[in-house]
Amino acid sequence: MSIAHGIKRLGVLGAGQMGTGIAFVSALYAKVPVLLHDKSAHQVSKGISLIDKLLAKDVSKGRLQPSDAEAVRARIQTVDAIEAMRDVDMVVEAVTENLDLKRAIFREFAAKIRPDAILATNTSSISITKIAGAVIPEGVSAAGEEGKAASGRVVGLHFFNPVPVMKLVELISAVQTSQDTLDRSRAFAEACGKEVATSQDVPGFVSNALLMPFINEAIMCLEKGVATRDDIDKTFRLGMAHPMGPLQLGEFIGLDTCLFIQQTLYKGTSDSKYRPSVLLERMVDAQYLGKKSGRGFYEYNN
């Protein structure tokens, strides 16, 4: 029997590619009003512009009627503070992969958003359990009823980039996450048109525990001169039918993001197989991050 998600209004914190994409599919498929917030007004403007372009494209391709596109756009509002999200039923955080930043945001969520709202993070590698610990009020026992109720509403909802295209959401339970939170979060992701895969709360979850070492090993092959950039990527495009090779994929993700996740895997497991490539570190030092910076192993005309 399906579980009704009960999300009548959604908050999204972060108007970058991920947050904007989550807002878009929530308004389009789940048909819920969305409040979108980012501390950068410029980023909000870029996010809304992207949503408008996505809707215009869907109309031009005949996938949406103009009236339906207008209805989707009307469901998405921008707000200038987390306090404006006070009455949402769920909020999804989609900011930079930084544990201290995310813990600070979730403490703010706990203080400013209604106490029964689901607090979801779109992290692709950071421990959900560590984030959940941040919402327990100071002086309250984590094992007591109040502490369990607070942390039990935190969950990992890992959407994939680009959100409007990728079909999967990874659902991750913290040690503290309640079954009701998991059931409603799964139902909401499905209402957004996604398939759901579950993972334990381990470094990188399923997706990045497998993907990042693959990309890292490809960079090591380049670093050691095993093969050229083009031949490494060609091997996987033509030999394994991958849509793009691992070097190019890493650059679409962002080499800085790849490095952060690889460092998280290495730190979280102490396993040498997760040690980041020296070349990957140097590329990030040089700010050659891939597509978003215009240069990585490839050059891009942004």
Burial class (CB in 10 A: 0-12, 13-18, 19+), 1: exposed
Concerning whether 199 is annotated as a catalytic residue, the answer is no
Cα-flanking dihedrals φ and ψ of residue 174, to 5°?
-70, 170
Concerning whether 124 is annotated as a catalytic residue, the answer is yes
Identify the pLDDT of residue 302. Answer: 67
Identify the pLDDT of residue 1. Answer: 41
Identify the pLDDT of residue 3. Answer: 57
User: How many CB atoms are closer than 10 A to CB 111?
Assistant: 11
Give the 3-state DSSP-derived string for the chain, with helices as H, strands as E and coil as C: CCCCCCCCCEEEECCCHHHHHHHHHHHHHHCCCEEEECCCHHHHHHHHHHHHHHHHHHHHCCCCCHHHHHHHHHHEEECCCHHHHCCCCEEEECCCCCHHHHHHHHHHHHHHCCCCCEEEECCCCCCHHHHHHCCCCCCCCCCCHHHHHHHCCEEEEEECCCCCCCCEEEEEECCCCCHHHHHHHHHHHHHCCCEEEEECCCCCCCHHHHHHHHHHHHHHHHHHCCCCHHHHHHHHHHHCCCCCCHHHHHHHHCHHHHHHHHHHHHHHHCCHHHCCCHHHHHHHHCCCCECCCCECCCECCC
Concerning whether 98 is annotated as a catalytic residue, the answer is no
35: CB partners within 8 A, 6+ apart: 9, 10, 11, 12, 77, 78, 79, 84, 85, 88
Q: Which residues of the chain are under the pLDDT cut of 50?
A: 1
Burial class (CB in 10 A: 0-12, 13-18, 19+), 298: middle
Identify the pLDDT of residue 230. Answer: 98
Given the residues 122, 125, 151, 170, the one annotated as active site: 170
Given the residues 151, 185, 208, 216, the one annotated as active site: 208
Instruction: Give the tens place of pLDDT for each residue, 123-182.
Output: 999 999 999 999 999 999 999 999 999 999 999 999 999 999 999 999 999 999 999 999
Concerning whether 302 is annotated as a catalytic residue, the answer is no
Given the residues 125, 158, 199, 277, the one annotated as active site: 158
